[in-house]
Structure 1
């Protein structure tokens, strides 16, 4: 689409409220939306579904476009399209790559909480959950904390082209979720002190147990548990803050 034609469609929509012009812009920009969406394929979503999500971002860009800035629509729309797709994934994925045993325990804890809440007429304590699940309290609490962070997408896993999107500097173990700045996970890690960041990576990137982390770092297992809970909460707050910005 030529720049002059694009600008005329935008002018008609913004100055005259011509909905046909808006629809024509979307139609002409669909190949571009598909191009952006293709980057995110290979993560369990069909391309056309991602295109539909991307169109929402395109519409937002069209509606917010400033004719006075002199930008091409594609330049302005690209981060809006990407952002909408990332939000789509964020709503469906774990913030960090949680070990499978914790994922399973988190799901069991959620179901047990519902059952016990109905029986007791109140939210069960961690001690009560641990008894029902035949697990120790620390493990149950860790699973609950991990489950609360089911908020962000694994956008740096290899797509169809085998390439991830970006890397947080200094992180080389591909087991941990890595993502672009706008997904906010880089900020989540950056919000942690060096020791806490190391502990989070040992737990979720390399699959260390709390006991193994305690031995590796030279602190007690209870201290590791407290630091993990605090670190996960700090990351969640950083992610939420970044997403709201």
Structure 2
């Protein structure tokens, strides 16, 4: 069975048996990275719970979970057990802040000014509130007056917000000629990808030969079988953080191979 180097330490069993407050105190005094790893592992459930709340909003769950884990690490590094706060209460706003920041910066398919992103959010909130107050769908003029901005600014933000979630190529349209529906992909011209697929497959097989067995397994499970890092970690009996590090190493190898190929 595969084990990470982290679990080879003789002191790890004693660390894992310690209560959370004691571990935070020892971390503050010693900056022991093994203790830090245990605290991360012990609180990954918080990142998972918060990530699920933001799922199905246009960004893959795995990406949200990774950002949440980063927020968790920030929280662990900043937490002061002597202030009397429960760690979960301290970590939650930190993790949510990182997730919201990621959505704000990465959630838009096309980069638009921060001013437009913020105004778009205010417009969506205003629509809900004004619909309840007016008992009808609010007009652009209603929204502009409520937000104390111009109608042009409202229209600009509403138009820009369309790039947040791009239209799927699988969307169907009624055909005027027959009963068969036509999807958007059929209406858009595309290049013949046959030759590029051959090149990509050749590159993939050539690069995979340079991976060890663990890296190959993680690559296949992650990108072909679409498993999460958590599921892969359980199957290999290693930590999710170890899977994350190995995945980064795999991607780095692919990046270097691409650079070598392009030279």
TM-score, scaled to structure 2: 0.40
TM-score, scaled to structure 1: 0.43
